[in-house]
Amino acid sequence: MTTSVIAKGIVPRISRGVGGRSRVALAVGGTLILAWAVIALFWPHLAPYDPVHQDPLHRFAPPGPGHWLGTDQFGRDTLSRMLAGARPVLQVAPLATALGTLAGTVVGLVAGTFGGLVDEVVMRVLDAIVVFPTIIAAVLFVALSGRSVTAVVLVIAASFTTIVARSVRAATLVEREKAYVEAARLRGERSWSLMLREILPNVTTTVLVEATSRFGDAIFAAATLSFLGLGQPPGSPEWGASVSDNRTWLQIAPWTVLAPALAIASLVVATALVADALRSRWEAP
């Protein structure tokens, strides 16, 4: 009796604590993402200087009045470049995430719904794609098609397709064994109808959580490809390219690397907070 009373008192407090943390994480992450989205749209009105303007007389100026985050080896304002660098990142990441999530959802639904030989073939193809390193695929694709935003988007989307497909397939396998799917089968619904009308609406939360998680990965992947010279061209204010351009001067002008690196980190962490909050809310018992 005593144990039951204690348990009844503790469980609601734990639930409220978990729910409270999820709401805080969602608020903090969502605010950061929204802030960077606003910056990406309106950076020409927010940046104090032209991000590509060179001022050799003020090379490596430390942070202070006039240049709040200092300048780089060409005298370019670091703050202006960090603000301008949000736009190319937020042009690539959402599109790559959307394409990868859409393709992965279709593949996962088909494999999970039809099962049998279809599932076996799909999974073997996904296994073959997974073992091929993304960076090598990016190098080959860029070498064949040339450096472009489209190439970066397609490479990132392809790498996400396998991840999303596996998650959606797993959720589909669970859903197709439930009573409502069996009832639809008994009504005579075909497999495509079962997949689109019955199963898809019930795996939507899995798809949304995957999309949010992959969005953070896409930000990091886009920056990584630009750092390696496979994305934005040298001299671009894009964050990965900025880190690459200034890494040689890290010891004498650390602000030139820390500013874009922290920008990447803040946006990746923000998406992770949102993804974890959504997962906690939707997957809670």
> The whole model's pTM is what?
0.85
Q: pLDDT, tens digit, for every residue of 70-112?
A: 999 999 999 999 999 999 999 999 999 999 999 999 999 999 9
**Considering all CA atoms of the chain, what is the largest pairwise distance in Å, rounded to the nearest integer?**
79
Residue 1, pLDDT score:
42
Using a 10 angstrom Cβ sphere, with 0-12 exposed, 13-18 middle and 19 or more buried, the burial of residue 205 is: middle
pLDDT > 70: percent of the chain = 92
Q: Provide the token pair at 188.
A: 């005579």
Q: Provide the token pair at 170.
A: 């797993």
Q: pLDDT, tens digit, for every residue of 256-277?
A: 999 999 999 999 999 999 999 9
DSSP 57: G
- Count CB neighbours of 273 within 10 A: 23
In degrees and rounded to multiples of 5, residue 60 shows phi and psi of 55, 35
- CA 241 to chain CA centroid, nearest Å: 18
Domains of the chain and CATH, by start:
18-44+76-282 (1.10.3720.10)
Residue 283, pLDDT score:
64
Residue partners of 13: CB distance under 8 A and separation at least 6 = none
- Mark 153-170 as b/e (b = at least 16 C-beta within 10 Å): bbbbbbbbbbbbbbbbbe
Q: pLDDT, tens digit, for every residue of 165-191?
A: 999 999 999 998 899 888 888 888 888
